[in-house]
Structure 1
Amino acid sequence: MQAKRRPTAPQQAATQQGHQSVCAGERWEREGASSAVPRDQRRMYGHSDVRLVDLESGKVETRTPMDAKWFGEGLVKVGDLLYQITWQGPTGFIYSAKDLKQVNALGGRGWARVRE
């Protein structure tokens, strides 16, 4: 078996908590916090978002901020949807992978949840 090196994206000025790479095409989804937020506050509530980033340029194509009461914890793509859980929250969110619009919400704890 030989390892194959994949292209890497330019570094984003954001922390990542729940990174999802999508290799079919040049895009990937992830969540993070802006570098404009002081370093010690980046992982706090009120700074999470979900992003669609061009893999080659690192440019954020689409960004959906989360309500300040949530901290985004994990993100996984299943089919045409993105499933996101929240830190210590009984709520998760489902987004369209195409445009990052929220299409539904999940109830219950999300640890190890992939989909229902």
Structure 2
Amino acid sequence: MWEDQGFELYEGISSEYYTRDVDSEVGAPARRRLDLRETLESLKSKYYDLEETVTQLPPDLADDIMKRWVARLEHITGPLRAIGIADLRAELQAQYEVVEGARNPLGGSIYY
């Protein structure tokens, strides 16, 4: 039956699984992006769950609840969304020793 359909049956197929460290395989910057996506997907999931829940309510009340949720999200994330690279650099420079003429992007004596 497989031969007639163009499928090949391979010998020696096994279910061997190898554990790999995702951070070393993908790389730390890519892992951070994955973490960010996961966080954003979690927030969107909460939003859609709430949106589905309020469909049973009168439209005005449902709209008010959704607006309040979004307003809370904006309030919580406002400072994070407002921070710029210069602000982050200043915050990190205050935390680490600053050296004149340093070559790293933060102006510090050590790399992190």
TM interval, shorter chain, is under 0.3
> Normalization by structure 1: what TM-score?
0.19
> Normalization by structure 2: what TM-score?
0.19
Higher helix share: 2
Higher strand share: 1
Q: Which has the higher contact order (CA 8 A, sep 6+)?
A: 1
